[in-house]
Structure 1
Amino acid sequence: MTCKSGARAAFLAIGISMVGAVAAFSVSGQQAKTSENPHATVLSIGGSVTEIVAALGQEHRLKARDTTSTYPPSVESLPDVGYMRALSPEGILSVGPSLILSEEGAGPPEALDVIRAADVTFVEVPDALTTEGILRKISVVGDALDVPDRAGALAAKVKAEMQAAISDAARPEGDKKRVLFVLSTQGGKINASGTGTAADAIIRMAGGLNAISAFEGYKQITDEAVGQAAPDVIVMMNRTGDHAITDDALFDMPAIRLTPAARERAVVRMDGLLMLGFGPRTAEGIRHLNAALYEQGI
């Protein structure tokens, strides 16, 4: 057995023993299950999943949420079990959910092993970068919550909204703004989006052109690469704390200073969940970004 697999096995063994203790703590919640509604109490992990639960009219069943779940604002009053990629089995099981709905990519894997070993139904909701992917998310959540009719109605509404938003945002190839999505600027380095990301997908849906196409995913890029990308617009998430940067500081960065975006001071800041969540409000995000890129003269 390798050290890695041995450590994982030890983590699982400790976690399973911990499950018993947590189960005793939350026994009253488990007893609240009924044969008529075995999934009365739901923990939602992932902002878009939580949005779907609420859009299906099932917010009253939510018992807790993760840090990325911030919409609708009313869910912020729920217990927060932590960031979806750094989950603690003890924290999750202590809230006593009967159903966990988790966006794909939650972790770490060792924590999920412990959670799946508990007497809790765990449903993973697939990631999405397309309209069809969003509809699949809605279907999976609707089935897990046993509200397929509501899910069908929501999917039809979202499909129509997405088709209209993408159609309205379409522009001729020669008239598209070159957009650089900057994930972070920590340490004075640009971490940007290549292809195959939520940022790349929504930029294209909103009628823009991703200025970075040489790689997939989010990566730190050189000052020279930013210059060669020659973005017309910088797009960023609204950030606070250590991840925040002012417009003056952004456009004074050597990597950004000589780009067309810097000359026009063209930067768009958006709510990260609205822009990258790929949930029920994505059509709104497309329209918001399209308007920022074009209608407001950026």
Structure 2
Amino acid sequence: MRLPLLVLLLTLAAGAASADPLPGRIVSIGGAVTEILYALGAESRIAAVDTTSVHPPAALQTKPDIGYMRALSAEGVLSLSPDLILMENGAGPKEAVALIDAAGVPVRHVPSGHSVPDLLEKVRLVAASVGEESKGEAMAADMKAALDRLATDLAPIERKRRVLFILSIADGRANAAGRGTGADAVIRLAGGENVFSGVEGYKTLSPEAAAALAPDIILMLDRGGPSSGDPLALPALAATPAGQAGAVIRMDASYLLGFGPRTPGALRDLASRFYPEAGLGASLVR
């Protein structure tokens, strides 16, 4: 064997030997991150999840639970001996995140934006982090195609439904979603108009302000407890077009606001309820 060829073979062998193995113990922090990992078929490599990882149900049922993503314990996360931590932006507290970042374990911070490019980048980043680039690209392409089809189906609609998203009701006042929120994003992507987009973030509305917004539809999360409330029990909201028509839509929080693999289906489901006359059809994904 000539020397240059031998050197080449030895170099290639050394490169293969030094290649990082695929992570086998992944701590998944963020519901969308966990959904993506399951959709990629990487669930057997998940060592633990946080409490926002409610879909699929098997995640919290079968994986160790590290607690709420905004109340992490660095010691608790690191005690699981992970070889990769996938952490959605917004995890906290900052001190715990700083300790995790400094521990020497590979950490990937996953974007949590609400735009279509943010959603697709999230899928690609998670997939690349666990060595599933091709699956991630295929998933992102399928999601983009589904979102493009929905946009095309919505294009002929001339009058957008005016939608008020209410996160909670307390003491007769509604906490509503303005611009820059996940709720604002899903309303727009499903072809609606957020009537509260003139303000930033979530704000509490007086009854008079809620009535003045005159929504056609009230959108809420499907959950129990006093904070879910009945918006139409508030006279100001009962007097709006939504109240007069009984147009209250409730959807599962992780499905509607998860911004993960199920988002294209959730948006089609929401759009079909905004515009039942359009024949958009409901998604088969849940």
For normalisation by structure 1, the TM-score amounts to 0.82
Alignment-mate amino acid for residue 141 of structure 2:
A
The equivalent of 1:156 in structure 2 is: 141
Give the superposition deviation at 1:96: 2.6
Displacement of 1:171 in angstroms is 4.8
Q: CA RMSD in A?
A: 1.9
Partner of 2:171, secondary structure, is helix
Distance 1:242 1:121 in 2: 41
User: Which structure has the larger Rg?
Assistant: 2
SS in 2 for 1:75: helix
Output the amino acid matched with 1:109: K
Whether 1:187 and 2:171 are equivalent positions in the alignment is: yes
CA shift digits 1:68-89 (9 cap, x unpaired):
1111222121122111112122
What is the distance in 1 between the residues matched to 2:261 and 2:77?
A: 25
Q: Write the distance in 1 (CA, Å) between the matches of 2:277 and 2:27.
A: 40
Deviation at 1:37, TM superposition (A): 2.5
Does residue 265 in structure 1 map to residue 246 in structure 2?
A: yes
The separation in 2 between residues aligned to 1:243 and 1:115, in whole angstroms, is: 34
Q: Deviations over 1:241-276 (max 9, x none)?
A: 34332xxx3211244222111111111011112111
Matched, 1:146 2:131: yes
Matches within 5 A, 1:203-214: 203-214=187-198
Unaligned runs of 5+ in 1: 1-33
**Alignment correspondent of 1:25:** none
How far apart, in 1, do the equivalents of 2:115 and 2:70 lie?
A: 23
Per-residue deviation at 1:62?
Answer: 0.9
Equivalent residue for 2:23?
39
How many Å separate the matches in 2 of 1:155 and 1:119? 30
Aligned position for 2:265:
284
Contact 1:169 1:205 in 2 (8 A): no
The residue aligned with 1:69 is: 53
Question: Could you tell me which residue of structure 2 aligns to residue 55 of structure 1?
Answer: 39
2: distance between equivalents of 1:111 and 1:286?
34
Corresponding position of 2:275? 294
Whole-angstrom CA distance in 2 between matches of 1:296 and 1:243: 31
CA change 1:37–1:241 in 2 (3 A) is: farther
| Contact 2:184 2:197 (C-alpha < 8 Å) held by counterparts | no
Q: CA deviation at 1:169?
A: 3.0
Counterpart AA for 2:122: K
Deviation of the 1:45 alpha carbon: 1.1
Q: Is the 8 A contact 2:22 2:131 kept in 1?
A: no
Distance in 2 of aligned mates of 1:232 and 1:171: 19
Counterpart CA distance in 2 for 1:171 and 1:198 is 25
Rounded to whole Å, the distance in 1 between the matches of 2:268 and 2:92 is: 32
243 and 63 in structure 1: CA distance in 2 versus 1, 3 angstrom threshold: farther
Partner SS for 1:279: coil
Shift of 1:189: 2.0
Instruction: Tell me which residue corresponds to 2:85.
Output: 100
Among 208, 221, 228, the alignment partner of 1:224 is 208
Q: Distance in 2 between matches of 1:277 and 1:63?
A: 21
Question: Structure 2: any 5+ residue segments left out of the alignment?
Answer: 1-17, 279-286
CA distance in 1, matches of 2:157, 2:228: 34
The separation in 2 between residues aligned to 1:218 and 1:209, in whole angstroms, is: 16
* DSSP 3-state at the match of 2:275: helix
Matched with 1:168 is 153
How far off is 1:108 after superposition? 1.0
Figure out how many residues of one structure are paired with residues of the other and give that number: 260
Aligned partner of 1:237 in structure 2 is 221
Change (3 A) 1:83 1:228: same
Distance 1:233 1:171 in 2: 20
* Aligned partner letter, 1:73: P
Structure 1: how far apart are the matches of 2:198 and 2:265? 29
1:157 and 1:292 map into 2 onto residues whose CA distance is: 23
| Partner residue, 1:81 | 66
Q: Show CA shifts across 1:210-264 (max 9, x none).
A: 111221111112222211110111101111234332xxx3211244222111111
Aligned mates of 1:242, 1:61 — CA distance in 2: 38
Return the letter of the residue paired with 1:185: I
Deviation at 1:35, TM superposition (A): 7.0
Which one has the bigger helix percentage? 1
In structure 2, do the counterparts of structure 1 residues 71 and 296 end up closer, same or farther at CA, with 3 Å as the change threshold? Answer: farther
